[in-house]
């Protein structure tokens, strides 16, 4: 689609230069090549174009319409034409305009499957996606996996995305998921999980993204190991949870993987009620927040204080020295202190993706070899990233040194009085398009006797790193 200024539109249509505020009338908006999209969706797309009364507003309206079509994902190719309007006899209508969108609709169905085979187990994975199947620019994703041996079981996820009033910035998300997780190495049990949620996501004009919704979960703690501690044993069985959720985030980073400038913040809140099979009921308020700010240091280095929720990786932007400052805080406030909070509602700190130098969940309350998690935590980290000698500055393989600190406690009031666990180290990181790999040598400096350290080499793969 070519970019036109308002004066060029008038000259092309009427053959003479004119000012940008010349009165015009849009007589029709057509969508050529559209076969499966509902008229109500097309009408919402055409509305800002039909409302245009000057060339300047016409250009703004058509740009908004094109952005909406692309945001809805219903077109794989889009062209735009402006024509002079004609009456029933074929005569030109003074100052009349017809806008035509030539649309090549995107594929409506896609499917893929795969098999992973190893010495001990195997997995079958299937994914099916439908786009605009009912004509409302909706998208439905279905993922299914089945693992052998049988204790891995079957898992599936159904996700529906529906744009409200055909607006890609205001979407309804419906999600149903069944999964199973093994925690035998960290907490002596397995978890079977069935969840459902309905959320509304809105992209605000100021760049904020706000999500609010309701969620429900059926959780089953099962397959307890003989060595499971009492805290894990008394939570065994079924648990039902219902929650109201709300989150706000604002991302002004120039690169979400490894920013060289800008800031990011996010706040998540949850108000929930839980009921166990034993009849014990409780509720809680849960909140988690993070803030990230990037500062320039000098060329050749990249510094990134990160957090448990910070996203970090190498950088596609200008290379140079940067510092990122990120405080992170989480609070879980139960309504009934006499009833223990559920294991999956607590915060878990430690591991290669959060607090390096410790085992997964190894920072905070423990019982024997089982990690219990806490009702409050904070974490922060600082990383200095540099290109490696002999490699180009934009190579995906880099070196870094880092320092991490954080604390996790069973009671919120103990958080500030608890000495933080700290670790330092250095290593290699490798950036891919959607994830990051790290191989680090870590030295824990400060820790409590009950916490589970992981000194020496530590490998991590993921998207979010401390």
- Distance of alpha carbon 57 from alpha carbon 16, whole angstroms: 19
Ramachandran category for residue 11: left, alpha or beta (phi over 0 → left; psi -120 to 50 → alpha): alpha
Q: Give 415's contacts (C-beta < 8 A, 6+ positions apart).
A: 376, 377, 378, 407, 409
Element (H, E) at 222: strand 208-222
The 3-class secondary structure across 265-324, one letter per residue, is: EEEEEEEEEEEECCCCEEEEEEEEEEEEEEEECCCCCEECCCCCCCECCCCCCCCCCEEE
With 0-12 / 13-18 / 19 or more C-beta atoms within 10 angstroms meaning exposed / middle / buried, residue 19 is exposed
Strand partners, 424: 403, 443
- pLDDT number for residue 17: 55
pLDDT confidence of residue 307: 46
Element (H, E) at 41: helix 39-50
Separation of alpha carbons 217 and 195, rounded Å:
4
Residues 6 or more apart whose Cβ sits within 8 Å of residue 337: none
Q: How far is the C-alpha of 439 from the C-alpha of 356, rounded, in Å?
A: 11
Spatial separation of the C-alpha atoms in residues 219 and 187, rounded to whole Å: 15
- pLDDT, mean of each 10-residue run, the chain (466 residues): 55 61 86 90 92 87 90 89 82 85 90 73 84 93 78 82 94 95 89 95 92 96 92 91 96 76 90 87 92 69 47 41 74 87 92 90 90 93 83 81 92 89 92 85 90 91 80
Distances (CA, A) of 138 to 76, 109, 130, 177: 15, 12, 8, 19
Q: What is the pLDDT of residue 376?
A: 95
| C-alpha–C-alpha distance, residues 408 and 403, integer Å | 17
175/140 Cα distance (integer angstroms): 10
Q: What is the pLDDT of residue 317?
A: 42
Domains in the chain, start-ordered, CATH in brackets? 6-105 (3.10.20.310), 252-462 (2.40.160.50)
Which pair of structure tokens corresponds to residue 40? 């109500």
Tell me how far apart the alpha carbons of residues 212 and 175 are, in angstroms, rounded to a whole number: 14
Q: How many CB atoms lie within 10 A of CB 120?
A: 6
User: What per-residue confidence (pLDDT) applies to 293?
Assistant: 80
123/289 Cα distance (integer angstroms): 36
Q: Give 392's contacts (C-beta < 8 A, 6+ positions apart).
A: none
- In which element (H, E) is residue 30 found? strand 25-32
Nearest CA-CA partner of 101 in 163, 42, 166: 42
Phi/psi of residue 43, nearest 5 degrees? -65, -40
Q: In sequence order, what DSSP letters do the residues of 60-89 get, joined into one string?
A: HHHHHHHHHHHHHT-EEEEEEEEEEEE-TT
- Give the pTM: 0.84
Please work out, in degrees rounded to the nearest 5, the angle formed at the alpha carbon of residue 367 by the alpha carbons of 365 and 373.
Answer: 35
CA 354 – CA 373 distance, rounded (Å): 14
Measured CA to CA, the distance from residue 256 to residue 258 in angstroms comes to 6
Residue 458 is inside which H or E element, if any? strand 456-462
């Amino acid at each position: 689609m070519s970019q036109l200024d308002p004066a060029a539109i008038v000259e092309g249509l009427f053959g003479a230069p004119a000012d940008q505020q010349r009165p015009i009338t849009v007589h029709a908006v057509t969508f050529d090549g559209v076969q499966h999209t509902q008229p109500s969706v097309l009408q919402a797309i055409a509305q800002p174009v039909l409302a245009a009364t000057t060339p300047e507003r016409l250009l703004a309206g058509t740009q908004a319409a094109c952005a909406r079509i692309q945001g809805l994902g219903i077109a794989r190719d889009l062209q735009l034409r402006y024509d002079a309007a004609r009456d029933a006899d074929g005569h030109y209508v003074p100052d009349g305009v017809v806008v035509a969108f030539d649309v090549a609709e995107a594929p409506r169905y896609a499917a893929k499957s795969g098999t992973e085979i190893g010495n001990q187990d195997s997995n079958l994975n299937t994914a099916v996606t439908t786009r605009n199947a009912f004509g409302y620019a909706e998208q439905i994703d279905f993922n299914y996996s089945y693992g052998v041996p049988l204790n891995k079981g079957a898992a599936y996820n159904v996700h529906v995305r529906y744009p409200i009033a055909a607006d890609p910035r205001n979407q309804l998300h419906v999600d149903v998921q069944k999964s199973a997780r093994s925690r035998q190495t960290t907490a002596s049990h397995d978890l079977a999980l069935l969840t459902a949620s309905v959320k509304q996501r809105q992209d605000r004009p100021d760049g904020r993204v706000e999500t609010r919704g309701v969620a429900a979960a059926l959780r089953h703690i099962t397959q307890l190991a003989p060595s499971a501690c009492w805290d894990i044993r008394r939570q065994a069985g079924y648990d039902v949870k219902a929650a109201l959720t709300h989150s706000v985030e604002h991302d002004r980073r120039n690169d979400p993987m490894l920013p060289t400038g800008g800031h990011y913040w996010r706040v998540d809140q949850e108000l929930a009620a839980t009921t166990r099979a034993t009849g014990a009921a409780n509720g809680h308020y849960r909140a988690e927040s993070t803030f990230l700010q990037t500062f320039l240091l000098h060329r050749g280095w990249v510094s990134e204080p990160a957090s448990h929720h910070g996203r970090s990786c190498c950088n596609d932007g200008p290379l140079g020295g940067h510092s990122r400052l990120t405080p992170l805080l989480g609070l879980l406030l139960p309504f009934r202190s006499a009833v223990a909070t559920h294991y999956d509602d607590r915060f878990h700190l430690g591991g290669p993706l959060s607090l390096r130098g410790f085992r997964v969940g190894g920072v905070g309350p423990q019982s024997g070899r089982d990690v219990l998690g806490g009702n409050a935590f904070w974490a922060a980290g600082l990383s200095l990233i540099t290109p490696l000698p002999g490699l180009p500055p934009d190579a995906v393989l880099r070196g870094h040194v880092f320092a991490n600190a954080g604390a996790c406690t069973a009671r919120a009031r103990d958080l500030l009085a608890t000495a933080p666990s700290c670790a330092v180290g250095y290593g290699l990181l490798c950036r891919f398009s959607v994830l990051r790999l790290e191989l680090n040598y870590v030295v824990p400096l400060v820790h409590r006797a009950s916490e589970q350290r992981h000194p020496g080499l530590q490998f991590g793969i993921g998207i979010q790193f401390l």
